[in-house]
């Protein structure tokens, strides 16, 4: 059973109110929970029951936050932003959705804080070589739940995560307004999603490329049909697949994970 949402705390409410006219599809229903297993589960259950596109589910902490490829997402109280949105994209829009989400979250963080993160294929958000935010897209019939986790304050990450993670406050050495970061990320996501719907996916891909400059041209390793492959990441194509040069040939990686060497 889905718990009842609570009143959105001031920290988020005032920033969301100020951004209201720019929130687009995310302006209408924002639900706040103190503690959930995973915001993606709450949003997914509501989408299954017919929730409208644009529903936002936000929690202070998650007890079973999850990441891509079966990993967990450490979600302590107050340290991060844990949010999921319900989208109902067409097949064409869905193709570039995770690319658009990565760009939007990087842009939102820049607008709110001045920090300029990079995107790492397919949709990780990095700064100084460490992960700052991650996106988990989970699709079902008729909807996609986009779950976004942003590290605002450093937390007690498990040892394997600690060496690869950072937070906005650690990078800036100052406190950061979680509400403002959330509001600007939702504004950017609404705007990039709109571009996809309007057939302007090319702009999204170009924005991704300019945020990925430091990642392109680097050696990557990935697995394809059980075989470990190594190549040079060259670019993404217009459908968001990673183009990798392997010897004299070119390959496209469409899903899964690449390791940057
Ligand atoms: C990743 O980089 O592996 C994706 C991490 C996604 C984490 C967010 S936090 C909000 C939403 N709820 C979840 O359980 N996961 C996503």
pLDDT tens digits for 79-126? 999 999 999 999 999 999 999 999 999 999 999 999 999 999 988 999
Structure-token pair, residue 142: 């008729």
Cβ–ligand 1 contact at 44 (below 6 Å): no
pTM for this entry: 0.95
- pLDDT, tens only, 190-238: 999 999 999 999 999 999 999 998 889 999 999 988 899 999 999 999 9
Q: Are strands 242-246 and 249-253 parallel, antiparallel or unpaired?
A: antiparallel
Average pLDDT along the chain: 95
The pLDDT score that the predictor gives to residue 246 is 94
Cβ–ligand 1 contact at 123 (below 6 Å): no
Cα atoms found within 13 Å of the Cα of residue 136, Cβ hemisphere only: 22
Cα(65)–Cα(82) distance, integer angstroms: 8
Distance 105 CA to ligand 1 centre (A): 13
CB under 8 Å, gap of 24 or more: what pairs does 226-234 form? Answer: 230/261, 233/121, 233/258, 233/260
Q: C-alpha dihedral over 58, 10, 155, 45, to 10 degrees?
A: -10
Cα–Cα separations (whole angstroms), residue 215 to 15, 109, 127, 220? 32, 19, 11, 10
- pLDDT, tens only, 133-163: 999 999 999 999 999 999 999 888 878 788 8
């Amino acid at each position: 059973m889905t718990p009842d949402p609570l009143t959105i705390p001031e920290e988020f409410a005032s920033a969301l109110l100020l951004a209201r006219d720019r929130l687009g599809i995310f302006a209408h229903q924002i639900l706040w929970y103190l503690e959930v297993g995973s915001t993606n589960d709450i949003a997914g259950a509501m989408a299954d029951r017919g929730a409208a596109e644009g529903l936002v589910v936000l929690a202070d902490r998650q007890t079973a936050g999850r990441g891509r490829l079966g990993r967990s997402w450490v979600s302590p109280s107050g340290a991060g932003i844990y949010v999921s949105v319900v989208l109902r994209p067409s097949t064409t829009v869905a193709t570039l959705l995770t690319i658009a989400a990565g760009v939007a979250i990087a842009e939102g963080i820049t607008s709110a804080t001045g920090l300029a993160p990079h995107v790492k294929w397919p949709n990780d958000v990095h700064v100084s070589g460490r992960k700052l935010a991650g996106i988990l897209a989970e699709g079902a019939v008729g909807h996609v739940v986009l779950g976004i986790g942003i590290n605002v304050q450093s937390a007690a990450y498990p040892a394997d995560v600690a060496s690869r993670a950072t937070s906005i406050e650690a990078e800036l050495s100052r406190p950061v307004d979680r509400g403002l970061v959330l509001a600007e990320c939702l504004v950017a996501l609404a705007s990039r999603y709109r571009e996809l719907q309007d057939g302007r996916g090319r702009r999204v891909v170009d924005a991704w490329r300019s945020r990925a400059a430091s990642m392109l041209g680097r050696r990557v390793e990935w697995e394809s049909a059980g075989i470990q492959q190594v190549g040079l990441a060259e670019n993404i194509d217009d459908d968001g697949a990673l183009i990798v040069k392997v010897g004299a040939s070119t390959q496209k990686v469409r899903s899964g994970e690449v390791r940057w060497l």
